């Protein structure tokens, strides 16, 4: 009897652990001479009241496959993603990258992000009234068609990557209509134009 009771308690305990909701947050470490103190660690929960989604799907493209004696089939494999994450104390992160279901990560290429600079207030859009500058490819928004930007507000710091990787192999799901990112479990390894490094991860889940 005692053995059955113990087994039951263990089962309930394991069930509680497995059902525990994973915290939607980012953990980032910034290193380099351009970082205040040469080191900065950021941990922040996503403000889901203001940014309820994990990203928008802007464009998608298909690939074709064929076999002997058939006309082949076409399936969508790549999606351009635009994600904006606002954290609870006002810090935020902007990501524009390509998700490819046949790969495990996206590699940010410098030529797609840095062409010139513009003034900005928020590191999202160019604004002549801004007192700070960001790299821009079109003079309208910070970054280019592919971008990684982190802005710390509580501890003022900005990081705009010119190269690096976004690894989505630990979990990435689109909604059934392929319009939004439902789940994003991402890991980052980024470098800015001054050689500063950002490494970390973010987890987001949208109740769509």
In the chain, what are the domain boundaries?
A: 24-60+77-107+146-205
Amino acid 20: pLDDT: 52
> What does the alpha-carbon distance between residue 185 and residue 26 come to, in Å, rounded to a whole number?
10
Nearest to 182 by CA among 172, 190, 168, 192: 172
Cβ–Cβ under 8 Å, residues 108 and 164:
yes
Q: How confident is the model at residue 148 (pLDDT cuts 50, 70, 90)?
A: very high
| Count of CB atoms situated within 10 Å of the CB of 205 | 18
> What does the alpha-carbon distance between residue 87 and residue 93 come to, in Å, rounded to a whole number?
8
Nearest to 95 by CA among 147, 171, 35, 18: 147
Taking residues 17-36, report their average pLDDT: 81
Nearest to 80 by CA among 145, 124, 144, 169: 145
- The pLDDT tens digits for 63-122 are 544 444 445 556 788 999 999 999 999 999 999 999 999 999 999 975 554 568 899 988
Amino acid 111: pLDDT: 52
- Run of H or E including 12: helix 2-19
Amino acid 14: pLDDT: 42
Q: Which position has the higher pLDDT, 132 or 60?
A: 132
> What does the alpha-carbon distance between residue 49 and residue 52 come to, in Å, rounded to a whole number?
6
Mention every residue, 6+ apart, whose C-beta is less than 8 A from residue 189: 164, 165, 167, 197, 198, 199
Given a cut of 90, whether residue 208 has pLDDT beyond it is no
- The pLDDT tens digits for 149-203 are 999 988 889 999 989 999 999 999 999 999 999 999 999 999 998 999 999 999 9
Cβ–Cβ under 8 Å, residues 117 and 135:
yes
> What does the alpha-carbon distance between residue 83 and residue 57 come to, in Å, rounded to a whole number?
9
């Amino acid at each position: 009897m005692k053995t059955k009771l113990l087994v039951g308690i263990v089962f309930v305990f394991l069930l509680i652990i497995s059902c525990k909701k994973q915290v939607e947050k980012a953990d980032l470490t910034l290193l380099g001479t351009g970082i205040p103190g040469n080191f900065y660690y950021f941990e922040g929960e996503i403000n889901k009241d203001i940014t309820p989604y994990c990203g928008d799907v802007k464009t998608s493209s298909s690939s074709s496959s064929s076999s002997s004696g058939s006309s082949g089939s076409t399936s969508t494999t790549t999606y351009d993603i635009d994600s904006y994450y606002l954290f609870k104390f006002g810090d935020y992160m902007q990501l524009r990258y390509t998700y490819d279901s046949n790969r495990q990560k996206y590699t940010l290429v410098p030529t797609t992000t840095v062409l010139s600079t513009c003034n900005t207030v928020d590191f999202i859009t160019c604004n002549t009234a801004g007192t700070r500058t960001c790299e821009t490819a079109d003079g309208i928004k910070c970054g280019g068609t592919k971008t990684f930007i982190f802005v710390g507000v509580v501890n003022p710091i900005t990081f705009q990557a010119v190269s690096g990787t976004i690894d989505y192999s630990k979990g990435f799901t689109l909604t059934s209509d392929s319009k939004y990112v439902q789940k994003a479990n991402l890991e980052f390894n980024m470098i800015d134009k001054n050689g500063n490094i950002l490494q970390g991860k973010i987890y987001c889940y949208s109740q769509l």
